[in-house]
Structure 1
């Protein structure tokens, strides 16, 4: 485990650089530039740009309001309170709320100096631009996390395969595995971690389309929700029939075909063939057999949904590449 993360390193360097620049330019309250940089370092490039635009926009609004209010009410706590009562709702209304704290702190400099002269306006604007600018420059480079995302993909596919194989064994032996609960828990955690990583990767590019990994993770999360529904059926399975063995074998086949590039089209055709075979078989002879077979067919319907999610995903990806 790293003691100092990459973002922490950028924050420390950025704050120092911003303060040095502000001081060398002869700006008052130069430490504020460093604080703005600290608050502006983000985990993705797109987020950094959005924050920068919001803060600059909020500060321009703050300058406009403070000049008017301080001229009318003077440089006192009451005037600053009135400023906040007007400024905060306006920033929220125009979606500039990320700039509330930073802008308010810079405006207090005008309050302390009891001046809205051009020198002080330029001083505060410069502090904002330096702080935000240094943060943007540092955020231009983000380490690639594509390798980590591919590791997530491999892990997710392997765990889904293991869970489906456990399901197939349960269908054949009526013996529910405790290990399957552990697999489901670890898979759920990795899915959410993988989705967060995919979105971070997506937000680190302006021109290159990296939405594939986001779509992939969303697809696997949908499949995971289907797996959870499939597992619920096992609480009601209490008999094994010829159809049970057939579905178990098919489930195992699905498990061995879970890899990324599979379109699931062949498996869907096999599933339809399996249904046709079931229609040719004798009907249930007892109530218990009827209920059990109904649950079994519901399990098969969920397995079909599991495959359709993958099939639709691959179809959308191929259409997007045309």
Structure 2
């Protein structure tokens, strides 16, 4: 039974409940309520609410337009075609696209019955209402994926630590680790998976602000870009200097400081002190030395950007009263 997912179970249960409710209150075409549930169960709570509102709005618009046309021109396939020509552009204009198909099906009930009586109009409205409400209710249960995303975060931080450790070693040895490419690929995959889970959590929160994970993943994506820039500089390093050793040690220290609680403020201050100490050192003597030193300083700038991204992330959380979940 592992091939049957939660969404399938919820859809099956909801459609049956909707049809039973429709039958219990004596509605015609009660099976339509079950079909509406099938079409309305979504992957997130916010999406379900959005779909429900669109479908109710489209239903009322469709019933108004069709009733007017049927009463003026009669009940025929030609008039139904005119209804479609009028209804679809208007529904699209009012951003009710997700209600077009279901509402059009409900209008066929008026065509079959050849009446637009108040009782039949109410019947169609109730079918839509039962369908979307039941879909909303069954969709209130969403399996928690917070454990999964916390595991993603833990692995993402482990990979970043390892990448910085390799960079520190590469600075000292003037040689890039063969494992770096594998780590970068894994980091990108983990971030892509993490951002999907983060937005699922965000869109399953109807009232609370659960934007932390999405903002966290965005911050790490920006840091990934900075890490890639840092990596490119190694193609130009061929000589080790005293500054190289100092930056390597700082990179190693940064590797050991990768975690959620670190605001990066202290590290940024240390980096500035490191940069100031370089101004007191001997200037390069050859062109090769000058070019290597320039690349080394650019690496330091990218390292600074890496830290600024984290500092700004923590500051944004504080300024916007976003709950830090760690």
Pair in the same fold by TM > 0.5: yes
Q: Equivalences for 1:13-162 in 2 at 5 Å? A: 13-162=13-162
Per mean C-alpha deviation after superposition, the further-off stretch among 170-179 and 51-60 is 170-179
Q: Is the alpha carbon distance of 1:17 and 1:88 closer, same or farther for their aligned partners in structure 2, counting shifts above 3 Å?
A: same
Structure 1 CA distance for aligned equivalents of residues 48 and 311 of structure 2: 36
In the TM superposition, residue 220 of structure 1 has moved relative to its aligned partner by 1.3
Per mean C-alpha deviation after superposition, the further-off stretch among 134-143 and 73-82 is 73-82
Structure 2 residue aligned with 1:304: 304
Per mean C-alpha deviation after superposition, the further-off stretch among 291-300 and 19-28 is 19-28
How big is the alpha-carbon RMSD for the aligned residues of Structure 1 and Structure 2?
1.8
Q: Are 2:197 and 1:191 aligned? A: no
Structure 1 residue aligned with 2:284: 284
Structure 1 CA distance for aligned equivalents of residues 213 and 96 of structure 2: 30
Structure 1 residue aligned with 2:218: 218
Structure 1 CA distance for aligned equivalents of residues 116 and 164 of structure 2: 69
Map Cα deviations across residues 250-297 of structure 1 (whole Å, 9 max, x no partner).
111111111000011111111111111211111111212211211111
Unaligned runs of 5+ in 2: none
Map Cα deviations across residues 161-205 of structure 1 (whole Å, 9 max, x no partner).
111112222222222223211211121122122122222222222
Unaligned runs of 5+ in 1: none
In the TM superposition, residue 77 of structure 1 has moved relative to its aligned partner by 2.5
